[in-house]
Structure 1
Amino acid sequence: MVLLFNPLCTTLWKLMVLWIIFFTMPISSVGMTTKMMTKDSNNTSELHENCPVMCRCPTPETVDCSQAKLTDIPHDISQKAINLLLNGNRLSEISDECFSMCSRIQTLNLKGNEISEETISKNAFYALSNLHHLYLSQNKLQKIPKDLPNSIISLNLEGNFIHEVDDFALAQKQHLRRLYLHNNNITSESLSKKAFRRLLKLEEITLSNNFMQAIPLFPDYIERLHMENNQISGISSGIFRKKKKLIALYLQNNNLINEGLSSKSFTGLNRLEYLDLSNNKLKEIPENIPKNIRRLHLEKNNLEKITHKSLAALQKLEYLLLQYNNLNSSSIDPGSFSKLRSLKTLHMFTNNLETVPSFLPPRLEYLILLSNGIKKLKRNTFAGARQIRDLNMRYNKITNSGLEKGAFRPLPRLTTIDLSGNQLTAVPSLPRSAEVVHLSDNRIVRIPHKSITRLSRLYHLVLSGNKLQTIANDIFKDSIKMKILDLSRNQLRTLPSYFPPNVEYLQLHHNQLSRIGFTTFISSPLLRVVFLQENNFVPESVDARAFHGMRFLERVDINWKPPSSNMARQVRRRRHTLKREKRRHFRLKKVRFYIGT
């Protein structure tokens, strides 16, 4: 019996079984098996032989020669190839013969080579009558190559040195739907007015990261237009007059000013849903923004005021981004946002607001007001905005005296609130619906009992970076849903008798704690991670049984202070004790103890 478990004997036993099966098998079966093996071998050999050297052919239809350091296009490409990948090589020339036997190719990737329009033969693409997707990005093209197949649906010329697009560059490309010309050297003067005239099926065009000073003429059926990162300072009246299918317009990172826009600059964009005007030089919200807009980016401008008329017509607007401007409370007309019936997200952080804008939209769910100068929240501040779920007011100047009683009462659905970096001295009264509460980096010295016990849904509480010295023993006893509790960077000398019963992540580092007893964490058997470093612990002050019975514990961070002459010996002894306790009590889970000096 012992020999049967020897590896060598096991191998011999298997060979004997195979020998018996082979010689007891009928001759016809052996012949059939041999033929099948020969056939499979021939198929594998055939596939291998049809694949050019230095290339990979995962299927007969795909030839992958990318990143192969090729200087010439392989001459033995399979006639069955549909996808040919030649990107990331050192190709500099395409002759008439290169693709003469590859008429089935639909996708040709030549990205990242050294090809120029002068090194492409006149009939180089003549045989590619089925070509749909052509990638010539990141080469050395200065003009769009002539005689490209008329069957092309998607043409990518990004990252070249193209500085001129004439009338005939894209002539007869009647099937072209997507054209990518970003990251080139195209200017408004070098782009012919008729360059895109015949592209009747064009749906998307990207001209971003060029040197355009104006929006060019393009087909009426365009759906997406990328003009970001150019030098556009104005939009001509009527330029979009017949662009009834345009749904997304990207104009961020230009030089747009209000003087360069007229009341008819956006006329005709009846289906536009996405408009990005961020990072320009606008001082006011432009007039007559299309009524169907759902997402409007106006961040990083020089906006100084918002009037009643600015947004009144945008009944379908869902996302309004106004951060990083020069808005203050007096420059916003009262009720400017009240007619935005569909608005769900409003970003106004990093402005100069002293108060929360009045008459917020009724369906607003996400309100981000961090990094302003807001000092007070009144009872009616959030009146009418009962749908708010996420409120971020970090780094303002809110005090407890500036919080009127019942300020958050109109927010029955609020689940996440962030009041970090303000001037609070006590945990305020928050909505019962709160699940995630951030109060770090305030001046909090006390936690009123009801401020925590009334929050029956509280899941995540952050009180780090405050001035807490003591916490009531039973304040977290009934917080049965709390999983994460952060009390780090305070002045705690003692810990409460009860932690949340289901807490998993507990941060107590950077306090003034000096003792961990046997029962310190006994109320929280589900602990996974405990951070205790940078306190005043010495080896004798931490009970070896403090983590007894915690089956889910994964990590404990702790270090010893203050140093003494026999510190090294104590640390070694304590490490050994903790490891011994770990082996004894945590056999089902490996616990990592990080014990610093």
Structure 2
Amino acid sequence: MPVHGVPLILLCLSPMWRILIAVSCPRQHTPCQLAERTAVCNNCKLSNVPESHRSDIETLQLDYNDIETLQDTSLQSYPSLKSLSIAFNRLVRIESNTFESSKLLERLNLTNNNLNIGYQETGLALRKLPGIRILDLSENKLDNEMASLLLQNLTSLEHLCLSGNILRRLDENSFRDLHQLKDLDLQRNIIFEIDGAFDSNAQLQRLNLAFNYLPCLTDFHMTQLVFLNVSHNAIEWFISRQELDSTFHLETLDLSNNKLLFFPFLPSKGNLRNLYLSHNIVSFYKHLADNVSYPNSTSTVEFFNVNQYSSNVTAQLWNDDLFGDVSALKVLDLRGNQVTYFPEGFIKNMPFLSSLHMSSNCLETLNLTSEQFSGTLSELDISNNRLSQIFADESTLASLGNLTYFNLSLNGLTELPFGLFSSLQSIRSVDISYNNVNICLSNDVEMSTDAIPACVDWRNIVSLRQLYLKGCHLKAIPSTAFTALSLTHLELSDNPGLVVQNSLQSLSRTLQHLGLGNTQIQDLDFSDFQSLKYLNLSRNSLAHLPPSLQNTDLKVLDLRDNKLSTMPSGQASALASKLQTVFLTGNPFNCCQTEWFRTFETIETLNIVELSKIKCEDLFQVTHSIENSQSFLCLETRDTILFYILLFVPVFVSLLGISVIILLTFKPKMLQKSIKKKYLKPTSY
């Protein structure tokens, strides 16, 4: 779930408590570790709160213990206590007078306990905290009634976390007394209905309702709210109260991972900066208003019983007013929807748009000129659509001078507007992977624009740093393709038969990440690539590694699915001393030549990914895990002849003996004649 810069208190208070002072119980005469005015008693197997010999302790940590009950006298020796954490215990109740001597307590963390058992007495105890500002009741199996009782009269509370409970329905009594509440975290419950639950919380600015079961949000009128996260629900409609004349303060609205059919009905007056709508089923339906093509279609949608204060709502599905005020919008995320086109004026109404994410939609064409993209646009992602063409004139391309990231991968593009990339003066990352676009040759670029070539050119774009050309059916890259570039990332994988040696030399000084997987490359000189940190050589049928690799300063090397049987010990030592991560699965290694692997294995800082899946073959071509290769019989070269003699002599003798037995068994007369001839000769007496 994206958080988009929201303070940690929004997500849940418990992680903040755990990270703050995550130490174990010290083995001293006292069960706690003292530091200034803080006592840390985590992981001490305590069943009770230890008595303090200091009255100035302000923070007490009791996480991960076995405390079941906070007794009336448990905190009497902590009169100055301001922060108390008893998370991850077995707490079932807090006796009603426990906090009588803790009037200064402001922060209380009770996450991951069993307060659902003794919630009534615990509620009485909490009411005696006049200054409580931060309360974490997450993961306590609390239902609506329990939570409502625990929160009674907590008028000073500002931050509340109730995540991970079993709240189902919120109404006007749920948070009635929390007049100072600013942050409320209700994620990961089973909430399916909200009925005036926040009408008493005029100070509420941040609300997290993610991972619940809300079917819709209608009559949204919380003008004071700044952040709203309702992602991962089942929302089909988001409708704000349109007749309100007040300006909404909402800056971030997260509706991702829902079931939205239409673009949300945003406030008519607002200050929305970030709108996240990814992974819904949003589409635009202006074409349905064409009564000629669709004579039986309707142009309006009517909502009945939206709320008890207003009449039914009727909306024009393709009216520009439907979108509300998006004039301040900077980030729009529409990934994973069903958008086939932008309505007229849709992009124009967002003059400050800086990031537009449209991957995994159904766009067939993109007209940068007619859409009138703002000059503030810096990120444009239209990957994984159905684009076959992109239209843009020179003035439009000039206006996109602030664009730094441009992703067109996974489309059906065969050509791009002439000079598209060379006109983008600030472009840093371009991804046109899995398209059928060719790289321009020198004479193509020098042609007049009257004969526009179906190729791309990015030479002399000094700002470009990352270029992704995976799966573009490239066979050869011109030697001048990267002239005057300072690329740090170049991805050329999935281009079988690609010839690159001459074109890459101009990048040897700056290139850090190089992808050459599945290119059928066999040998390449990496001697000059002193900045190279990541190299992908997977799926290339390599029988040996290029010797020049040991002269590089690689940190990550991908050698999966090749034909490597071993590595020279010198090369292995040179690589192992520098590498941090190596991928080796899918190679037919020789179990009797694993000295290189023992070298890799002894380097503690080297991560051999999926070590258990790396296999080798023994003398009989039986596959084993390379980790166990030392347990198999392996012979040196000088012992090979003796090995075969020892192997075949017993076999030969056995076969000879069997032959003799068979012969004598089936031809006994031959034996008799032989004996008579030799031993029964006539003698003279």
TM-score under structure 1 length normalisation: 0.71
Deviations for 1:33-57, whole angstroms, at most 9, x for unmatched residues? xxxxxxxxxx99x999x99854468
- The change in CA–CA distance for 1:410 and 1:128 in structure 2 (over 3 A counts) is same
- Within the candidate set 372, 381, 389, 1:347 is matched to 381
1:307–1:333 CA contact under 8 A, matched in 2: no
Superposed CA offset, 1:6-40 (max 9, x none): xxxxxxxxxxxxxxxxxxxxxxxxxxxxxxxxxxx
Give CA-to-partner distance per residue, 1:324-377, whole Å, 9 cap, x none. Answer: 211122xx3342565321121122222222345645632111122332223345
Alignment of 1:114-125 (within 5 A): 114-116=114-116, 119-121=119-121, 123-125=124-126
Q: How far apart, CA to CA, are the structure 1 residues paired with 2:118 and 2:391?
A: 60
Tell me which of 496, 510, 513 is aligned to 1:460: 513
Q: Select the residue among 147, 162, 166 that pairs with 1:161.
A: 166
- Report the Cα distance in structure 2 between the residues aligned to 1:541 and 1:135, rounded to whole angstroms: 58
Deviation at 1:246, TM superposition (A): 1.8
- 5 Å matches for 1:528-567? 563=619
Structure 1 residues 183-218: Cα deviation after superposition (integer angstroms, max 9, x where no partner): 334444x522xx433323221122332425224555
The CA distance in 1 between the partners of 2:130 and 2:594, in whole Å, is 78
SS in structure 2 of the partner of residue 461 of structure 1: strand
Whole-angstrom CA distance in 2 between matches of 1:217 and 1:257: 18
Q: Among 53, 65, 70, which residue is 2:67 paired with?
A: 70
How far apart are 1:538 and its partner, in Å?
Answer: 8.4
Q: Which protein has the larger Cα radius of gyration, Structure 1 or Structure 2?
A: 2
Query: Partner letter of residue 63 of structure 1?
Result: L
Letter in 2 for 1:318: S
- Of 335, 338, 347, the match for 2:369: 335
1:154-205 superposed Cα distances (whole Å, 9 cap, x missing partner): 12222333334443443343321112233334444x522xx43332322112
Report 1:241-280 matches (<5 A): 241-258=245-262, 261=264, 265-269=266-270, 271-280=271-280
Given candidates 283, 290, 300, the residue that maps to 2:326 is 290
Task: Give runs of aligned pairs for residues 90-169 of structure 1, distance below 5 A.
Answer: 90-116=90-116, 119-121=119-121, 123-138=124-139, 139-143=141-145, 144-145=148-149, 147-169=152-174
Give the Å deviation of 1:389.
0.8
For residue 95 of structure 1, report the CA deviation from its aligned partner. 4.3
- Does the Cα contact within 8 Å between 2:178 and 2:200 map onto a contact in 1? yes
Q: Secondary structure at the match of 1:161?
A: coil
Give the CA deviation at 1:302. Answer: 1.1
Distance apart, 1:107 and its partner CA:
1.2
**Secondary structure of 2:369 counterpart:** coil
Q: 2-side partners of 1:410 and 1:498: how far apart?
A: 29
- Alpha-carbon distance change, 53 to 507 in structure 1, aligned in 2, over 3 angstroms: closer
**SS in structure 2 opposite 1:200?**
coil
* Correspondence for 2:81: 81
SS in 1 for 2:636: helix
Separation of aligned partners in 2, 1:240 and 1:572 = 92
The separation in 2 between residues aligned to 1:377 and 1:452, in whole angstroms, is: 27
Equivalent-residue separation in structure 2 for 1:79 and 1:527 (angstroms)? 56
1:569 aligns with 2:617: no
Distance 1:74 1:441 in 2: 67
Distance 2:567 2:112 in 1: 61
1:94 CA drift (Å): 4.3
Gaps of 5+ in 2: 1-33, 285-319, 442-452, 600-604, 622-631, 640-685
Query: What letter is aligned with 1:171?
Result: R
Q: 1:400 to 1:224 in 2, by over 3 A?
A: closer
Indicate how the Cα distance of structure 1 residues 554 and 118 shifts in structure 2: closer, same or farther if over 3 A, else same: closer
1:318, CA displacement in angstroms? 1.6
Change beyond 3 A, Cα 1:83–1:572: farther
Superposition deviation, residue 390 in structure 1: 1.2
Q: For the Cα contact (< 8 Å) 2:92–2:117, is it kept in 1?
A: no
Contact map agreement 1:176 1:199 (CA 8 A) in 2: yes
- What's the C-alpha RMSD, in Å, of the aligned pairs? 4.6
Q: Judge conservation of contact 2:252–2:272 (CA < 8 Å) in 1.
A: yes
CA distance in 2, matches of 1:117, 1:430: 69
Question: 2:411 pairs with 366, 372, 378, which one?
Answer: 372
CA distance change for structure 1 residues 442 and 168 in 2, over 3 Å: closer, same or farther? same
Q: Which moved more, 1:248-257 or 1:391-400?
A: 391-400
Does 2:214 align with 1:175? no
Give the C-alpha shift of residue 117 in structure 1.
9.7
Per-residue deviation, 1:305 = 0.7
* Counterpart-to-counterpart distance in 1, 2:384 and 2:195: 39
Aligned match of 1:381: 420
Q: How does 1:6-45 map to 2 (within 5 A)?
A: none
Q: Name the amino acid aligned to 1:281.
A: I
Distance 1:517 1:142, change over 3 A: closer
TM-score, with structure 2 as normaliser: 0.63
Specify whether residues 541 and 57 from structure 1 end up closer, same or farther in structure 2 by C-alpha distance, changes over 3 A only.
same
Q: Distance in 2 between matches of 1:118 and 1:477?
A: 71
Q: Does the residue aligned with 1:409 lie in a helix, a strand or coil?
A: coil
**Which of 57, 61, 80 in structure 1 is aligned with 2:58?**
61
Task: Show the 5 A alignment for 1:410-421.
Answer: 411-421=461-471
Distance 1:356 1:496, change over 3 A: farther
Whole-Å separation in 2 of the counterparts to 1:64 and 1:184: 27
Question: Does the C-alpha gap of structure 1 residues 563 and 335 become closer, same or farther in structure 2, counting only changes over 3 Å?
Answer: farther
Question: What amino acid maps onto 1:74 in structure 2?
Answer: Q
Structure 2 equivalent of residue 222 of structure 1 = 225
Partner residue, 1:326 = 362
* Equivalent-residue separation in structure 2 for 1:540 and 1:205 (angstroms): 62
Distance in 2, matches of 1:108 and 1:554, equals 43
1:314 aligns with 2:353: no
| Cα distance between partner residues in 2 of 1:464 and 1:455 | 18
Task: Name which of structure 1's ranges 135-144 and 373-382 shifts more when overlaid on structure 2.
Answer: 373-382
C-alpha distance in structure 2 between counterparts of 1:518 and 1:157, whole Å: 58
Question: How far did residue 567 of structure 1 move?
Answer: 8.3
